Amino acid sequence: MIPKRIVCFGASTIYGRVDPEGGGFTARLRAWHEGNARSNAVFSLGIEGQRTSALLKRFSLEVPPRNPGLVLINTGLNDTRREGSESAPWSVPLGEFRKNLSDLLQNAKALCEVAVIGPFPIDDTRTRPIRIEPVWYLLSDAAEINAATRDICAKLEVPFLDLFAKWNGKPKPELLYSDGLHCNSAGHAWLFEEAKTFIASR
């Protein structure tokens, strides 16, 4: 059964970046879930560009007051951000990411049920670098952060929606915005359907 109160927690995918039609998959989830019962609620706590370290800092301030029955988390890709050159290190080293995500999931598990939506395959022909600043996002990095997330979720027995597996490890241009980094409206609509099925069957 889907919990009545759901907190969606993360960065730009949670926020609903570049979906002018539906406001992102979490807004679509809210419209559907809250339309089913007056007592249902979906809270979208996404801040664009945030890394796991920032999510950890604000979790205790923002999530418990919403009294959720489920916390749905999407994070990781921003930790792989390479600044200045394609060979620069990740903004958050992999070991630090693993600890941050483990801590975040354990904090959520102490509060209620938790589930994770992994990253999707980006189109790094458009993100090497991104157009507006000298910042690189690589498909190989996204795959590595996805594998680490899947491993941590397995160890902590947290349900994990593997979008890399669903996309066969390759970007889907029809579901991506022109920046190659975010879902477009069609992508958010698809993600909503996947998320709805996922949280109902976890």
Q: How confident is the model at residue 132 (pLDDT cuts 50, 70, 90)?
A: confident
3: number of Cβ within 10 Å: 17
For residue 4, pLDDT over 90 is answered with: yes
Q: pLDDT tens across 167-184, in order?
A: 999 999 999 999 999 999
- The SS3 of residue 4 is coil
User: Would you say 9 and 59 are in contact if contact means Cβ atoms under 8 Å apart?
Assistant: yes
202 has a pLDDT exceeding 90: no
How far is residue 65's CA from residue 44's CA, in Å, rounded to a whole number? 13
pLDDT value, residue 1: 85
- 5-201 maps to CATH 3.40.50.1110: yes
Q: Which pLDDT value is given to residue 131? A: 83
**Angle 186-80-7 from CA coordinates, rounded to 5°:** 55
pLDDT digit string (tens) for 20-56? 999 999 999 999 999 999 999 999 999 999 999 999 9
